[in-house]
Structure formats: structure tokens, C-alpha cells
Amino acid sequence: YPPSSAIGNVNLREHPHVLPFYIPSLILAFSQGMLIPVLPLYILEFDTSLWLVGIVLSGLPLGMICGDLPAGKLLKYYGQKRIMQAGFVGFCLANGAMYFSGSAGEALICQFFAGFSIACIGVSRHAYVAEQSQTSKRGRAIAMFGGLNRFGRFIGPIAGGSLGTLYGLSFVFLCVGGVCLGAFVIVTCYMPAKRQEMGVNTAKQPSLSLFEVIKLHRRTLLTAGTGQLFAQTIRAARPVIIPLFGSQIIGLGVAEIGIIVGAAAAFDMSLFYVAGWLMDTWGRKFAIIPSFGIQAVAFTLIPFCDSFIGLLIVSCMIGFGNGLGSGNMMTLGSDLAPPESRGEFLGLWRLIGDSGHLTAPLLVGNIGQILTLHASAMAVSGVGIADVIFFVFLIPETLVKND
């Protein structure tokens, strides 16, 4: 970086990952946050079926699932920079296409390609931070990343809800595409292009197949992977069930839902330092277990909400619980990833987690259609309770304090 490169009082030579890693992550989180209060309501304009809403919303995690393994494999050949660039370009194009979508089927295709693009971004940045951080400091480094994600999701829903109210829901997708184009420019200008600087294995070593990686690490992927699956399911349920419950049950508008989601994100983002300190001082599980325990309790309270204030309070409680787990699954995956096959392992790790993102909208949509949204909330609570049990009894601590 040039000597004059600085943001405020932050010298970019002393903090070389601010622009290539943290800022693009913040931009992506802000863009995704803008869509939280908009996307479910936009899909309802095509059809009033909650089942169809769940199907279309599942397109994003389905695309992420399909993109995780290819992205993890391609990191070894192209490096993080190129994969991340491709991801941001794809995300911009997918959201631009959402503006022109005229049916739920077209929206589903757009969401699939948006999810595939997010997978490219997610795997490349996960490999980057796993390579660049020490185990004993990794919790704080990734919790900072989680805090920025939560900040983006705090201001994003407020901006998205306001823009959707003023200019129409479809206009928000154009805004998202334009904002993420800025992230592509930052990655292009500031992320190192040399593959050896990005943790890519350039040595002439035999490359393990995905089957071999699964065979070598099957126990870890089965136990910790199940915990990751449950964790991401309960996390992915919040942006689905809260807008739908607020709109369909309580009768709130998009601007009010945006305020609720944004307020929950404020609690969410305020605890990243506490989460990182807990993970690096006491252990990963000291942050993970209370995080999902609190969220499980909060989801049981959603069926009793009958007003804006009630849903706001419960949503903030969920945000508080999620904030305690800032960066926890990403840290756990980084701890477990073997250096010799980091890209492949993280591709599998994110595949498991993204399966949770796919499960959540289908769980909420189908149970909501067959029974009620109240039952959907209780089902998500059950997933949270199962996750707590899994981490208490089956998953070992991964913190190595002498690193």
C-alpha cells in the first residue's frame, strides 16, 4: 500500500486486511441487509402462498450449496482474489436481474445465481482469514468480521425498508447491485494478486480429492458439522420468519419491519468484541452455547407477539443471542481446517452451514403453510435447543491457548 494510504487514524500498512477483507465484507453485509425486509414481500407480490415464498427464498442458499465445493477447489488454482472478484460480479448481475424478474420462477433463478456468487465470496474470504490468523487470536479477528457483518445488517434493513417504501421494492435490487460493484473495485485494487500471499498451495504436492478429505475428517464433519448445520438453520430463520410474522400476522408495513430488523441488528453487532474475547479467553463453546440457547428461548416467544413493540423486543433478544456468537462458526471451521487441504475442507464446512440456510426458509414456509407461522417459530426453537445439546455433549473445545 502507498505510504499515504489510511482511513482516519488506521494506517493500512499496520492493518493490511482492512481493505481487501473487512471493507468488502461490510459492503456485502449491508447489501444483504437491504434485502431482508424487501425480499419476502417482493415475492408475495407474485403469489400469496407462504410455501412459494419459502421456495424462492431457498434459491439463495441452494446456490450457495452448489457453489461451495467448486469455489473451495478452485482456490488452489486461481487464488482468493480472482474467486472473490467473480463472486462480486455475479452478485451484482443477479440482483440487477431481480429488478426485471416478472415471476416467482425468474426470481428463484436470480436468487440461485446470487447464492452461487456469495459462496465464491464466502469461501475465498474464509480461506484468507484462516491462513492469516493465529489460533489464539482468531476469535477476535473473526469476531471483528462478524461485527462488521452485523453492522451492515443493522443499517441495511433500515435503508432497504425506506427505499422500498419510497421507490418500490424492485428498486432496492438495483441499489444492491450498484453498492456491491464498489466492493468489486476495492478487491481489484487492494487485494494482493500473488497466490503465495493468499494462502494458495503452490507447492507440487498431491491434491486431495473431496472424497479423500471427507474420509480423513469424517468424524469432525459429522459432529461439528451437525452443530454448524443447526446453528446456521436458526440464524437463517430470523430474516424469514420475522418479516413474514410481522406482515402476515401483526399487519406491519415494510418500513416498520425494516426498523425491527435493524434494531435487532444493533444488539447483534454490539457484542462482537465480547464474543471474540470469550472465544479467545475461555474457549469457543463459552460463546456458542449461550448464543443459541438465548435464540432458542426467544423463538418460543414469537407466537405470543401481537404488536410492533412485542415483535421488536423478541427480535432484539434474538439479536443479542446471535451477537454473543459473532463469528463463532467461522472460527470453529478455521480451527478445524487442515492446512494441507484448507480450501477443500472449508468448502465442505460452508456446504454444511449453507445447507442450514436452505433448510430455514423451507422449514418456515412449509410449516407455516401447513400449520401456522406460530408453529414455524416453535420448530426453529427446537433446532436451537438441539444445537445447544450437541455442543454441550458431543463437540470438543478447539481453542489452543499456547499458539
**Tens-place pLDDT, residues 293-320:** 999 999 999 999 889 999 999 999 999 9
What would the pLDDT profile of 94-118 be if each residue is shown by its tens digit? 999 999 988 888 999 999 999 999 9
What's the CA gap between 10 and 8, in Å, rounded?
6
Residue 403 per-residue DSSP state: -
Average pLDDT, the chain: 83
CB neighbours of 207 closer than 8 A, spacing ≥ 6? 76
Report pTM.
0.72
What's the CA gap between 195 and 227, in Å, rounded?
32
Residue 186, pLDDT > 70, answer yes
How crowded is residue 194: how many other Cβ atoms within 10 Å of its Cβ?
10
Do the beta carbons of residue 223 and residue 275 sit within 8 Å? no
What's the CA gap between 294 and 388, in Å, rounded?
10
What would the pLDDT profile of 17-59 be if each residue is shown by its tens digit? 677 778 899 999 999 989 988 888 888 888 767 778 878 888 8
Instruction: Tell me what pLDDT residue 73 has.
Output: 81
- Distances 223 to 210, 217, 227 between C-alpha atoms, Å: 18, 10, 7
Instruction: Tell me what pLDDT residue 87 has.
Output: 94
CB neighbours of 275 closer than 8 A, spacing ≥ 6? 139, 143, 146, 287, 291, 323, 324, 325, 326, 327, 328
CB neighbours of 346 closer than 8 A, spacing ≥ 6? 72, 123, 126, 127, 130, 333, 334, 337
The residue type of 248 is Q
Instruction: Tell me what pLDDT residue 76 has.
Output: 77
218-244 helix and 308-324 helix, angle to the nearest 10 degrees:
160
What's the CA gap between 279 and 277, in Å, rounded?
5
What would the pLDDT profile of 321-371 be if each residue is shown by its tens digit? 998 888 889 888 888 888 777 777 888 888 888 888 778 877 887 787 778
> First-to-last CA distance in the chain?
29
Q: Which of 161-165, 168-172, 176-180, 269-273 has the lowest mean pLDDT?
A: 269-273
Residue 249, pLDDT > 90, answer no
What nine digits make up the cell of 3? 505510504
Residue 89, pLDDT > 50, answer yes
How crowded is residue 344: how many other Cβ atoms within 10 Å of its Cβ?
24
- Alpha helix ranges (H) inside 191-284: 210-216, 218-244, 254-269, 272-281
Residue in the block written with cell 434485502: 35
Would you place residue 5 in the very low, low, confident or very high pLDDT band (cuts 50, 70, 90)?
very low
Q: What is the β-pairing status of strands 10-11 and 6-7?
A: antiparallel
